[in-house]
Amino acid sequence: MAINFSTEGIETTDSAKHRFNTPYILGISFISALGGYLFGFDFAVISGALPFLQQQFALDAYWEGFATGSLALGAIVGCIVAGSVAEKYGRKPGLLLAAAIFTLSSLAMAFAPGRDFFIGSRFAAGIGVGMASMLSPMYISEISPAHLRGRMVAINQLTIVLGILITNLVNYTLRNNGDDAWRWMFGLGAVPAGLFFLGALFLPESPRWLIKSGKYDIAKTILEKIGGKSFVAESFPKIADSLKGYTKMSYKAAFSKAVLPAVLLGIGLAVFQQLCGINVVFNYAPKIFESIGASQDDQLLQTVFIGGVNLVFTLLAMLLVDKLGRKPLMLLGSGSLAVLYIVVVKMLGAGSPNVAWFLLSAIGLYAMSLAPVTWVLISEIFPNKVRSAATTIAVLSLWAAYFILVFTFPVLFDKLKDNTFYIYSAICALGFLFILTKVRETKGKTLEELEGIMNKR
């Protein structure tokens, strides 16, 4: 059943010769991106809950890292599940399954009787996160016209940062509610998860998946809702042509000689987005600020500031991604972070509270560059025939890198203290060179045009 948005705001754009139904495109993109909100929730909730969990379950540095990183291990499983479900049954059923897993895992974490049950429940939450992190941007990229695609996919990042900010605010509000405050922090995630499930019931299926599955009439109906009959006449044959010879999802095909350059690029971007180090600030802000003597209240308040800056600069990214382009933003983020981390080391070493300003600057630069643009590029650079498999591989790599990052940080910080950020600075410098030499600009091109460009690499 397709969602029935009003068509009264249909507008003609200068960048295409079609009458695009912008309210419809925006509506289905936003509903799909609610998966990003839950991604942000599960990503951020651990930051506020960790001080309580350390006391509740007597977590040392190892278990602190494992409890945080268990989300990533579940996400790896979720990516594999999402790839299979999205390929066989469609993008929409995958989103519905992710929403159901989110709901159940939130309640399971809230009622966890012990450490192992909690970690198992967070692992299950990671399955939902992994599915949503792959399917939401994939779905949005497949229903969005080329001139809107960057901003529409960036909506997914916007909902992620909204999830982070709102969760940080809730965590801060609940900080004085006793030893069981962490249970409320996790349990409240069931509310947006339920809303996501209800919204996903009304999403249309991806027209590219429908064409691949031979459901041409339904695909044409959805394409017509997006851009009118002229859009159907232009886009349908191009999509169908790009899918000629398609059989079924194959990881082997994703590593074929013709596709391998795009897959390696996707893996490199995904791994760099995590190993650049900024997510340790999101997940371990209380631990970092504790090292300079901040109180627990101040530690949690800093997470709210981090969430606010993250939101503002994500909105800025949405304005810039289809104007400045993908590559300039990625270069700005990687180069700036390499420099800022060096300053952070000096500030933490001196015990200066002014380190907060530099960490917030790092968050802002990441939020307007590496965070949203990596997801945009991953959703764009893979050919239609292998998109499910290639996207799965890239997002699997992202979550593996995230696990390595958050699992190792408590141990590294205990041993190296502030010098840990030198490691992330070096990685950002290498990432800058990788982007400079390997990434091509993709703004304003259809997915089928990009497929032709990538085939010429």
Terminal C-alpha separation, the chain: 40
Which percentage of the chain shows pLDDT scores above 70? Answer: 91
Q: What is the pLDDT of residue 389?
A: 82
Q: Which of 322, 289, 267, 297 is nearest to 439 (CA)?
A: 267
Q: Identify the band that residue 346 occupies on the pLDDT scale cut at 50, 70 and 90.
A: very high
Q: Which of 139, 129, 120 is nearest to 78 (CA)?
A: 129
Other beta carbons within 10 angstroms of residue 166's beta carbon come to: 18
Quote the Cα angle for 335-337-343, to 5°. 120
Other beta carbons within 10 angstroms of residue 1's beta carbon come to: 8
Of the listed ranges 27-31, 36-40, 196-200, 286-290, the least confidently predicted one is 286-290
Of the listed ranges 125-129, 136-140, 290-294, 331-335, the least confidently predicted one is 290-294
Tell me: pLDDT of 329 over 60. yes
Do 104 and 70 meet the contact criterion of CB atoms below 8 Å apart?
Answer: no
Tell me: pLDDT of 390 over 50. yes
Give me the phi and psi of 64, to 5 degrees please. Answer: -60, -45
Mean pLDDT of 147-175: 83
Instruction: Show the DSSP H helices in 201-259 as ranges.
Output: 207-212, 216-242, 251-254
Of the listed ranges 1-15, 50-64, 439-453, the least confidently predicted one is 1-15
Q: How much is the mean pLDDT over the chain?
A: 85
Burial class of residue 217 in the structure, from the number of CB atoms within 10 Å of its CB (0-12 exposed, 13-18 middle, 19+ buried): exposed
Quote the Cα angle for 156-157-161, to 5°. 120
Mean pLDDT of 389-412: 89
The Cα 442–Cα 327 span in angstroms is 8
pLDDT digit string, tens, across residues 220-259: 988 888 888 888 888 888 888 777 765 566 778 788 888 8
Burial class of residue 23 in the structure, from the number of CB atoms within 10 Å of its CB (0-12 exposed, 13-18 middle, 19+ buried): middle
> The tokens of 151 are what?
């901003």
Mean pLDDT of 264-293: 89
Q: What is the pLDDT of residue 84?
A: 85
Do 339 and 421 meet the contact criterion of CB atoms below 8 Å apart?
Answer: no
Residue type, 436: L
Burial class of residue 113 in the structure, from the number of CB atoms within 10 Å of its CB (0-12 exposed, 13-18 middle, 19+ buried): exposed
Please report how many Cα atoms fall inside a 13 Å half-sphere around the Cα of residue 383, on the Cβ side: 28
Backbone dihedral region for residue 210 (phi beyond 0: left; psi -120 to 50: alpha; all else: beta): alpha
Range 381-414 burial, b when 16+ CB lie within 10 A, else e: bbbbbbbbbbbbbbbbbbbbbbbebbbebbebbe
Do 390 and 260 meet the contact criterion of CB atoms below 8 Å apart?
Answer: no
Other beta carbons within 10 angstroms of residue 359's beta carbon come to: 26
Of the listed ranges 5-14, 255-264, 314-323, 363-372, the least confidently predicted one is 5-14
Q: What is the pLDDT of residue 10?
A: 36
Q: Which of 121, 127, 88 is nearest to 107 (CA)?
A: 121
Q: What is the pLDDT of residue 338?
A: 97
Query: How far from chain centre, in Å, is Cα 375?
Result: 6
Q: CA gyration radius for the chain?
A: 21
- Does the domain at residues 16-203+245-455 carry the CATH identifier 1.20.1250.20? yes
Of the listed ranges 5-9, 78-82, 142-146, 186-190, the least confidently predicted one is 5-9
Tell me: pLDDT of 8 over 50. no
Question: Who has greater pLDDT, 200 or 2?
Answer: 200
Other beta carbons within 10 angstroms of residue 361's beta carbon come to: 17
